[in-house]
Chains A and B, each alone.
With several copies, the nearest count.
Chain A
């Protein structure tokens, strides 16, 4: 083991490749997609579906962690995996391109990640194969409910087993489902996706009774009732999904169908957060870096040079701001890298994972806010992308656990407190 800070070749190659994607497939349509909220950038989606296969990832593995795959791969047995590091870099670069478009990259996203993390080998095979198909295919995670946000224990969606048909009958309301429309509704351009729905199979058991269910696109009783109009990441469809007695095959439950009075199942979901938080953080860093680079470029175009190395007393206000932004972006990225490196090295990273999310949510907000301010009348104008990134950025500190929830997680880890000791 050693302390070092250099990307291995595959990571550099992936960054180079995705930089090209960002430059050519994302940035040129960013503004148009933002202005036409519910339009779909088919060009990007189809390109990525092909490109990811060319990159040897192709399925959920590309944009969701796939530890299984790596540990199965004998060639990788001897050196530590870099799968998460690779992924974080890919996501950072895509988000640098357009974080909204990144969110609708085909491959299954969080839905596939859930199957990957909590499904049996049979389930993985059954549900994940589709992401290797010709058509771009989506899957979505349905967790949040109108009255249950950060407090997932308040989830009201119920799954009841119909003993006669051996089907789960699921009823409830889900909101904030990323890619919910593309995953569930019929789009001729896309393959058949699914949604993963969190529901209780035994409300009296609290969190121990929580399970997730794979629900195939088009299942009767399930309906996308609304696509949200959002501040930013407008190209990403955020759906409300209503389930009214939706019938789901018994074997679509992820995890055990019986309830033990432990919260293992739920902790599984929380462990997914440990894996996904640094990845979300990576996307925040991508947006922040985009804004920082654009500010420097626009300032340079105006003849403004940033002098580094000076005492603060000799800096201009803009120089001080830009240097602080650079510190923020750089340190947030290092925190992401540490968290994913730990994941790759099978080290528990609940603390570092949440820390990276706290940091990223914080800095992407500050950096984009400062970027718009520095550019004055130009920063605020939709002629440039800075104002869009300001809007896109804010979601980083909200989804996958708000900054507040992640501070709680960090504090509990630091203090050695349980959830009941520090509420």
Chain B
């Protein structure tokens, strides 16, 4: 059957996320971006919503099974509130979910409960590399098998909370195939740069991390396939994009219904109204692609990864277009930072690159 309504359980969770996102994340977003600082209190509160915990089986300290559908519903709501905040809250998932998906029993037992059971702590992962054609399936960071382990070499960037991370999953090409490696902090040969500066996400501390002959033990290798991990990252990226786009869309609708020009509200002008209609259509179409891909991931369908790729492709174009038009609808007001749309537009362009910053 087809269905387009969340379950009651999902609804309750999503409602809670939506409330937090609107009242906490959104209200803090502007200052966080401007002052390049996200209140830890906020991150903790988001963590306490228990999204990751609900995706983790109880044997590892959680209280549920991972559902990508639930995950993308939540991610959209978080993205709707504030992208930087959303990513910060979700960062420990970058560590936990890949282990859950691709790790062995011992890795799960060793690592997951310590993250899941306490308050939010900086566990992260390093995927993105500083090259224009960065390809998660053709990494320049390499892992070489040596006696009793592997040696990692390469440069990662856009690594959230790298400076304080207690451990991270580092992705590297092992015989040309992308694999995750669990790397603990203060390991010899790993160097974390100063905080990097991007076009947006100023609230989120991100770093470049260099690995020079970093020796990790055999037990650090996540043996499972990277594909479902990447697919999970892609649907998450798409869902966050839908959230940001919806934020911009709703803001622009509200503005257009309030703003007078030439004796009417600007929303009453076809030029504006048609833009809003198209924005609505495009958001909805990407949302449905995202939902379907997430559902396929949950059902372990063969083409799930394919669909996840399509969803994030669609999302990247859609969110750029929607946020750009939101700024356009606000005109001069869209260009000044008192209104959030310009930040969403800056967020918007990033989704072409953000796959790897979050996973549900």
Are A and B in direct contact (Cβ within 8 Å)? yes
The interface of chain A, by Cβ under 8 A from chain B, is 1-8, 82, 85, 144, 147, 149-151, 153-154, 175-176, 228-232, 238, 298-299, 302, 308-314, 323-324, 326-327, 330-332, 334-335, 337-338, 341-342, 352, 355, 358-359, 365, 369, 372-383, 387, 390-391, 394-395, 397-399, 402-404, 407-408, 410-412, 414-415, 417, 421-423
A3 touches B4 (CB 8 A): yes
Please give 7 more A-B residue pairs, beta carbons under 8 A apart, in addition to A3-B5, A380-B353. Answer: A3-B4, A308-B310, A311-B135, A334-B285, A376-B134, A403-B328, A415-B256
B129 touches A377 (CB 8 A): yes
A415 touches B320 (CB 8 A): no
A3 touches B291 (CB 8 A): yes
- The 4 A-B residue pairs with the shortest CB-CB distance, nearest first, are A1-B5, A334-B288, A313-B133, A331-B285
Q: A334-B292, A377-B128, A415-B253 are in contact. Are A410 and B281 (CB under 8 A)?
A: yes
What residues on A are CB-neighbors of B132 within 8 Å? 298-299, 302, 313, 374-379
Q: A2-B3, A421-B268 are in contact. Are A231 and B324 (CB under 8 A)?
A: no
What residues on B are CB-neighbors of A390 within 8 Å? 199, 349
What residues on A are CB-neighbors of B310 within 8 Å? 308, 323, 326-327, 330
What residues on A are CB-neighbors of B342 within 8 Å? 230-231, 394
B6 touches A1 (CB 8 A): yes
What residues on B are CB-neighbors of A1 within 8 Å? 3, 5-8
What residues on A are CB-neighbors of B337 within 8 Å? 228-231
B345 touches A394 (CB 8 A): yes
Q: Is B296 an interface residue (CB 8 A)?
A: yes
B292 touches A5 (CB 8 A): yes
B331 touches A398 (CB 8 A): yes
Q: A230-B336, A231-B337 are in contact. Are A312 and B352 (CB under 8 A)?
A: yes
Q: Which of A154, A238, A373 makes the CB contact (< 8 A) with B352? A: A373
A382 touches B3 (CB 8 A): no
Nearest-CB distance from B284 to chain A (Å)? 6
B6 touches A2 (CB 8 A): yes
Residue of A nearest to B197 (CB): A382
- Given the complex of chains A and B, what is the CA–CA distance between A403 and B325 in angstroms? 11
What residues on A are CB-neighbors of B338 within 8 Å? 228-229
Residue of B nearest to A351 (CB): B280
- Given the complex of chains A and B, what is the CA–CA distance between A150 and B267 in angstroms? 14
A3 touches B134 (CB 8 A): no
Chain B residues 301-360 with CB under 8 Å of chain A are 305-307, 309-310, 313-314, 316, 320, 324, 327-328, 331-338, 342, 345-346, 349-350, 352-353
What residues on A are CB-neighbors of B328 within 8 Å? 397-398, 402-404
Chain B residues 131-168 with CB under 8 Å of chain A are 131-135, 137, 157-158
The interface of chain B, by Cβ under 8 A from chain A, is 1-8, 10, 34, 69, 73, 128-135, 137, 157-158, 196-199, 253, 256-257, 260-262, 267-274, 276-278, 280-281, 284-286, 288-289, 291-292, 295-296, 305-307, 309-310, 313-314, 316, 320, 324, 327-328, 331-338, 342, 345-346, 349-350, 352-353
A contact patch SS? helix
Q: Which of A175, A342, A391, A411 makes the CB contact (< 8 A) with B199? A: A391
B331 touches A150 (CB 8 A): yes
- Given the complex of chains A and B, what is the CA–CA distance between A330 and B306 in angstroms? 12
Q: Which of B261, B267, B313 makes the CB contact (< 8 A) with A327? A: B313
Residue of A nearest to B272 (CB): A404
- Given the complex of chains A and B, what is the CA–CA distance between A342 and B4 in angstroms? 9
- Given the complex of chains A and B, what is the CA–CA distance between A328 and B270 in angstroms? 25
What residues on A are CB-neighbors of B2 within 8 Å? 4-7, 85, 337, 341
A414 touches B336 (CB 8 A): no
B268 touches A422 (CB 8 A): yes
Q: A309-B309, A369-B324 are in contact. Are A380 and B4 (CB under 8 A)?
A: no
